Structure 1
Amino acid sequence: MKPSADTKSRILEKSIELFNRFGFVSIRLQHIADEVGISVGNLAYHFKNKDAIFEAIYEEIEENQKILLADLKIVPLFINIDKHIRDTYAIQQKFSFFYSDTFEILRNFPLIKKKYREYTRWYIQQIENMISFNVARGTFTVESHEKLHLQLAEQYWMTMEFWLYQRRIRTFEEINIEDYVLALWALLLPHFTHIGNLEYKQMHYNENFNWL
């Protein structure tokens, strides 16, 4: 890696760490420069301001999420859905400042807010496709009312996107991945067919005995 690219990566890495620890609003360029071990002038050579740093971080968040969805889109079996949930949790932990204060951050970045809205529509469509795939293979029930699966996809996205935020608002001290996973599966469970229930139970049976 070139020295310039390495410095840029360290700036982003330290910025994420500081934003996660102290909040996006509280951090100034000087804090980031001190953490990286460079001058503010050197930092400004790579990113002219804090907004530019956040824009680069947001691009990374969106790109990571798209990669996970691309993997899920190939074959969204239950085991793949479960992996997607767990991998999404890992991303949210890495960029917790964004998922803890999404609304306030986006309010200050109109262009990213527009991108986020477009991305959200696409994301929900991918979840709806995941549901349709599982209806076709007999693990999900056929929707009993018009747009029921669209509503399910939207609820699933909202839970996935804002679970971390609501847990912290409610002052839960422990953020647990298993609680996150269960919160999302709880939305899907009522829509399982008999075959779906069997596959879900088998998936957890295999997880419990994967140490053998």
Structure 2
Amino acid sequence: MSDLPLKKQIIQKAIELFNQRGFFDIRMRDISSALDISVGSVTYHFKSKEALMESIYRYMLKTLEGLDISGRLFQKKGEELEVAQVYLSYMQQFRFFFQDTLDIIRTYPQIGQQHRQQVLEELNIIKNILYMQAGKGTLAAEPAPGIYDTLAEMIWQSLHFWFARQTILGNTEPGWGDALRTIGHLVYPYLSEERKAENLEIMPGIGLAK
């Protein structure tokens, strides 16, 4: 038996089961059986599956905050793609949510409201990275107003729905190299000529180039 408080054990076991079988296929009884405790012990801490999901979402936000992505200065070569890989690892930890995002936020509007705010923050981080790199000369000057905002949304979509993509296409592996290659391809046309040359050195080391 784990030394963790029972509430944390329930959260961790729920995440594990959700990742294995999908959020909507797991009942509170499944979680209690996996922990070898009564259903009442689970519902004592979480009155409903919605209450459990709300706690898990708070845990997701706390985990993401601990990665300190927004605090990076992006002074190393390839750091942007390194951050994308960190985010993908985070998504892998909670992949059930990113595979069933739409159904979860429709079922639980409160979580949907929180997630929309989180998405806006993530978009702002990506936009800031792009404009920061344009200011440094790593990216070319924005070809037309709004293009980098659109690019930020394309990058976010590629990351956020990557695991759903893998499931739809029948891929059982996370495919992180392919995900990073996709991000690299989205950004590549806007890189300065010097940075394009640098990326030829960076890409093979992180699985972006064949």
Q: Which moved more, 1:71-80 or 1:100-109?
A: 71-80
Matched letter for residue 75 of structure 1: L
Give the unaligned 5+ runs of structure 1.
Answer: none
1:74 to 43, 66, 72: 72
Counting only pairs closer than 5 Å after superposition, residues 3-82 of structure 1 correspond to structure 2 as: 6-68=5-67, 70-77=68-75, 78-82=77-81
Q: Residue 106 of structure 1 contacts residue 112 of structure 1 at CA under 8 Å; is this kept in 2?
A: yes
Change (3 A) 1:119 1:71: closer
Alpha-carbon distance between aligned partners in 2 of 1:201 and 1:75, rounded to the nearest angstrom: 22
Aligned positions of 1:191-210 closer than 5 A: 191-204=190-203
Conserved? CA contact 2:98–2:160, under 8 Å: yes
Give the aligned partner of residue 163 of structure 1.
Answer: 162
- Aligned residue in 2 for 1:109: 108
Q: Distance in 2 between matches of 1:57 and 1:125?
A: 24
Q: What is the CA distance between 1:16 and its match in structure 2? A: 0.7
Aligned residues: 205
Q: What do you get for the CA RMSD once the two structures are aligned?
A: 2.0
Change (3 A) 1:30 1:191: same
Mapped partners of 1:133, 1:61: distance in 2:
27
Unaligned runs of 5+ in 2: none
Deviations 1:171-197 (CA, angstroms, capped at 9, x unpaired):
224332111111111111111001221
Percent of paired sites with the same residue:
27
Q: Distance in 1 between the 2:205 and 2:94 partners?
A: 31
Q: Letter of the 1:27 partner, please give it.
A: I
AA aligned to 2:162 is W
Shift in Å at residue 205 of structure 1?
A: 6.2
Equivalent residues of 1:138, 1:195 under 8 A apart: no
Match of 1:181 in 2: 180
